[in-house]
Amino acid sequence: MSAGSLTILVIDENRIRASIIEAGLRDAGHRHVTVVHDVAGIARRIAEIEPDVIVIDLENPNRDMLENMFQLSRAVKRPIAMFVDRSDQASIEAAVEAGVSAYVVDGLKKERIKPILDMAISRFNAFSRMARELEEARSELENRKVIDRAKGILMKSRGLSEEAAYALLRKTAMNQNRKIAEIAQSLVTAAGLLGPLEGE
């Protein structure tokens, strides 16, 4: 049987992450992938889709509601078990660590589910790495702004060149074993408190 014969439902309120997972599943040859962002009316969707595997992000607060639905199995018609195999502790840990949970129709073979879960885990990890890098880039930009302001203050109040102002910030940071941005922030804060120093 080809990989594409499994029907997979991805429930993720984060559209970007959901599309990353979907792309990965399609690349791996899965043709029956449905992505749902909103759990409103999910029972009907599940009944229509009849998924073999449901991948959901752990941060979705509706997991309790979904699990209850699975247990009543009115919507799903088939018993749903969780994760690949309850005994596969390593897979479960990796999934929870990455923030993903998978529900699998009972009786599906572990060998068939494992690659799907592994893919979801790696995509979740890739997404959080991306989000982290984005956050770092944003704070990098913020840092640069605050350093520029601190340089300006030093240039004005001490009559330094831009280069000398930066060197002073760097030297102070090194002496105090702190980041330049932190020193710059302290200087900006202090200047704000002292008012006239900044000449504003």
Partner 1 sequence: MTAAHQITAGFMPLFDSAVLVVASEMGFAAREGIELKLHRETSWANIRDRIAIGHFDVAHMLGPMPLACSLGLTPLASETIVPFSLGLGGNCVTVSNAVWQGMAAHGAAPDLDPARAGAALGALIRERTAGRREPLRFAVVHPHSGHNYELRYWLAACGVDPDRDIEIVIVPPPFMADALAAGRIDGYCVGEPWNSAAVAAGTGHIVTVKALLWRNSPEKVIGVRKAWAEENPDALAALLRALHHAARWCQAAQNRGELAALMADARFLGQPTKIQMPVLTGHLELGGGVERTVEDFFVPFDKAANFPWKSHALWFYTQMVRWGQLAHTPENLAIARDCYRPDLYRSALKPLGVALPGANAKVEGALKVATPVGSAGASLVLGPDGFFDGQTFDPDRIDAYIAGQQPA
Q: Which amino acid is at 15?
A: R
| Cβ atoms < 10 Å from Cβ of 38 | 10
Of 7, 64, 79, give the one whose Cα is nearest residue 36. 7
In angstroms, give the least distance from the CB of 70 to partner 1.
8
Q: Pick from 19, 60, 122, 172: which binds partner 1 (CB under 8 A)?
A: 60
In angstroms, give the least distance from the CB of 189 to partner 1.
24
Q: Give the count of residues interacting with partner 1 (CB under 8 A).
A: 23
Binding mask 70-89 for partner 1 (x = CB under 8 A): -x--------xxxx--x--x
The string of DSSP codes covering 107-138 is T--HHHHHHHHHHHHHHHHHHHHHHHHHHHHH
In angstroms, give the least distance from the CB of 16 to partner 1.
19
As a dihedral over the C-alpha atoms of residue 70, residue 74, residue 78, residue 83, rounded to 10 degrees, the angle is -10
Q: Pick from 36, 92, 146, 154: which binds partner 1 (CB under 8 A)?
A: 92
Question: Based on CB atoms, which residue is closest to partner 1, 71 or 161?
Answer: 71
- Any idea which residue has 């599943």 for tokens? 25
Contacts with partner 1, residue ranges (CB under 8 A): 58-65, 67-69, 71, 80-83, 86, 89, 92-93, 96, 101, 103
